Amino acid sequence: MEEVLIFKRLFCIRAVPVSAYTSQNIKTTGWAPCMASSSVGRRATYSTQSVSTNEPVVSVDWLYDNLKEPDIKVLDASWYMPDEQRNPIQEYQVAHIPGALFFDVDGIADRTTKLPHMLPSEEAFAAAVSALGIENKDDLVVYDGKGLFSAARVWWMFRVFGHDRVWVLDGGLPRWRASGYDVESSASSDAILKASAASEAIEKVYKGQTVGPLTFQTKFQPHLVWNIDQVKKNIEDKTHQHIDARSKPRFDGAVQEPRKGIRSGHVPGSKCIPFAQLLDSSQTLLPADELKKRFEQEGISVESPAVTSCGTGVTACILALGLHRLGKSDVAVYDGSWTEWGAQSDTLVDTS
């Protein structure tokens, strides 16, 4: 069995064997999205202001170099499909990037609908993220436990509420650990208390109760989120290209939907680009030229308006992330997505 280095301070766990641990395990380059480390043993300091909001992701090397910057906050936004039987908060407690807060995708959500993890109200979002200790001045880096999955949803949420200085960690926790960087465990930490406080704040807002002082002010960007009526109108008006991030069999209606009571198929006029096709084998976002080629193959023009959807509004945000890399920062996400559309009796449904 390979021996593992365990640092008692901060309960940090080095996920590499002792025999393999050399200075080569520490990557210390400046920010260069999706690029491998070009130098070793050099500790550089880079201002977060040098990171462009035109680029939606940052590399694990960049985060490692900037992790202790005072205005950077890291969010673990892991979320999994119900059939995966994975518990994100438990996994967070076992291992997370040092100092990361836990952002509960299912918890920081609209409490007035039965649809899963829908966008909360402005007041509820502000109360929740304030409870997490997030301020408008903060630069946010969001990651998840799959590589690049639910983190894109939280990236989109912050942008909907007017916070543009937010990036997704390319490759997420798996890429971080594969690069030999420390993780920490915390069975009962301040971050867990903050996550609970955020959930309580959401509950209070929806019950009309007073919440604590706000450190985060929202500025709602309505063009980034669509409702079912806008999607219905778009079938007729065709003002926006509608891109569906679900798998081709689900899009074609060839298989049953994972949630009961949901019809199979797709919104008439929409096109299918499964979200996984925008990622490489290490779950990092493809380079811009490859992304552009992938969208163009399905007849999607980066020059024309677009709206994305999926099953419950999570992986649609990966499509928005990819289009953002191509310079489209105004992509809307249909929040209710197929779980809402497929459950209605009066919505039009196409199959292949």
Q: Is 310 a catalytic residue?
A: yes
pLDDT at 188: 60
pLDDT in tens, 185-225: 986 678 889 999 999 999 999 999 999 899 999 999 999 99
Asked if residue 44 has pLDDT above 90, the reply is no
Asked if residue 8 has pLDDT above 80, the reply is no
Q: Which is the catalytic residue, given 34, 272, 310, 317?
A: 310
Amino acid making up residue 338 = W
Check: CB of residue 146 under 8 Å from CB of residue 169. no
- Counting residues of the chain whose pLDDT is more than 70, the rounded percentage is 85
- Counting residues of the chain whose pLDDT is more than 90, the rounded percentage is 79
Location of structure tokens 């490859």: 290
CATH 3.40.250.10 domain extents, the chain? 57-207, 222-343
pLDDT in tens, 319-330: 999 999 999 999
Q: Which tokens is 173 given?
A: 């926790």
pLDDT in tens, 12-25: 333 333 222 222 23
pLDDT at 48: 56
pLDDT in tens, 87-109: 999 999 999 999 999 999 999 99
Mean pLDDT of 303-323: 97
pLDDT in tens, 158-181: 999 999 999 999 999 999 999 999
Asked if residue 249 has pLDDT above 50, the reply is yes
Mean pLDDT of 277-288: 97
Location of structure tokens 């552009």: 292
Asked if residue 40 has pLDDT above 60, the reply is no
Asked if residue 77 has pLDDT above 60, the reply is yes
Asked if residue 122 has pLDDT above 50, the reply is yes
pLDDT in tens, 127-161: 999 999 999 999 999 999 999 999 999 999 999 99
Q: Report residue 178: phi and psi, to 5°.
A: -65, -25
Q: Which tokens is 331 given?
A: 């992509």
Q: Which tokens is 45 given?
A: 């300091």
Distance, in Å, from the CA atom of 142 to the CA atom of 262, rounded to the nearest integer, reads 31
| Right CATH for 222-343 from 3.40.250.10, 1.10.630.10, 3.40.190.10, 3.30.450.40 | 3.40.250.10
Asked if residue 33 has pLDDT above 70, the reply is no
The half-sphere exposure of 114 on its side-chain side, counting CA atoms within 13 A, is 4
pLDDT at 259: 85
Asked if residue 57 has pLDDT above 70, the reply is yes
Check: CB of residue 139 under 8 Å from CB of residue 73. yes
Distance, in Å, from the CA atom of 134 to the CA atom of 265, rounded to the nearest integer, reads 40
pLDDT at 52: 87
Q: Which residue has the higher pLDDT, 82 or 17?
A: 82
- Looking at CATH, the fold of the domain delimited by 57-207 is given as Oxidized Rhodanese; domain 1 (3.40.250)
Tell me the C-alpha to C-alpha distance, in Å, between residue 176 and each of 15, 63, 103, 169: 10, 9, 18, 9
